[in-house]
Structure formats: C-alpha cells, structure tokens
Amino acid sequence: MNQRLRPGVSEPLILMFSRRQVETCDIDEPLQLLHRLIADRRSAIEYCGRISLVIDGYNDDPRELFEIPAVRAYLKRLDQEWPYWFFFLSQADESIKMLESCLCDTIEVVPGVASIDIEQMERVLARHFGAMNRLTEKLDLPKEKCEELAEGIISLIHNAAVEQIQGDDYR
C-alpha cells in the first residue's frame, strides 16, 4: 500500500456532519475539532491525511450531495472558517472530490459524471493549496511533505476529470 495513503485507510478520523447540523448550518462543534488539529505541531502531523468527511442523513435522498443546497451552504460556511482541508483530508476516499464539488457550481451531466465550474474550481484549489502551504510552513515541515500532499491531490483531481463528453459516448 502507498505509504502516503496508509493512515487514511488504516487509521481514519471520520468527521461526520449530521443532517441537523447541516440544515441549521451549525458549524461550531466540527470547527472546534478542526481548530484543535492545527493548534499544535504534534496534532497536525498525527492527523495529516486521515480525515474522511461524511454527511449523514441524506442516504435516502436521490440527489448527489453537491445538488443539495443545505449541504453546499454548510460546507461553504465551514470552509470560510477553516481552509486547511488539503493537509488533513484522506486521499484514499472521496472526501476531497465531495468537498470541492460542493464548494463549486457542479451539475450532474449524466449519472456518475459531474461537471464543475472550472473558474470556481481554480479559485477554491488556490485557496486550499495556499492554506496547506501556510500550515506546513507554520509547522516547519519539510517542503517535500507539502509537495507529496500536493502531488496526491493533483493526481486525485486529474483522475476524476473527464476531458470532454463527445456524442453518444456517455449515454
């Protein structure tokens, strides 16, 4: 197993948001936890790449999470307060893709294929990479650690991309 993915797979920290939290836009409890992760170097390093995001209570909703306005609003509000996702989110699951698709205008083109507003995506990625860079500098981590995380995230995003839908290829 890729060493970079190991903690996210074998020792994940599940950050679960309840439907009640989402619908009331109550970010206080998760924000307290997230702030503790960056409070000291030891905690940050211990939880690097281990957080998996889960939104509970929408399992029976036929929409994708990025299609649910309350979920989008919740994650946008949380993201405004805490942008350090790329340092902490697991690269072994869908957390990064789910977060990014909720923070940008996203539509489902055909079942299982989504289209994300590229300009918004570029702004969100720049914000998250910038926050990750600032955090690794604050923690005095080797530049290689930041580069390793960035390479994994770029690979995830690249692998999720569909160049262009042509004709009847996706029907």
Q: How confident is the model at residue 108 (pLDDT cuts 50, 70, 90)?
A: confident
Cα separation, 21 vs 8, in Å, equals 24
Judged by average pLDDT, the poorest of 101-105, 118-122, 147-151, 162-166 is 162-166
Q: Over the stretch 131-148, which tens digit does the pLDDT of each residue have?
A: 999 999 999 999 898 899
Q: Is the pLDDT of residue 8 over 50?
A: yes
Cα separation, 60 vs 57, in Å, equals 8
pTM: 0.86
Q: Is the pLDDT of residue 170 over 50?
A: no
pLDDT for residue 2: 53
Judged by average pLDDT, the poorest of 50-59, 111-120, 158-167 is 158-167
Q: Over the stretch 47-96, which tens digit does the pLDDT of each residue have?
A: 999 999 999 999 999 999 999 999 999 999 999 999 999 999 999 999 99
Q: Where does residue 145 rank: exposed (0-12), middle (13-18), buried (19+ CB within 10 A)?
A: middle
Q: Is the pLDDT of residue 161 over 70?
A: no
In sequence order, what DSSP letters do the residues of 45-113 get, joined into one string? HHHTT-EEEEE-S-TT--S-GGG-HHHHHHHHHHHHH---HHHHB-SSSSHHHHHHHHHS-EEEEETTE
Phi then psi dihedrals of residue 121, to 5 deg: -60, -45
60, 92, 77, 101: which is closest to 23 by C-alpha?
77
pLDDT for residue 166: 42
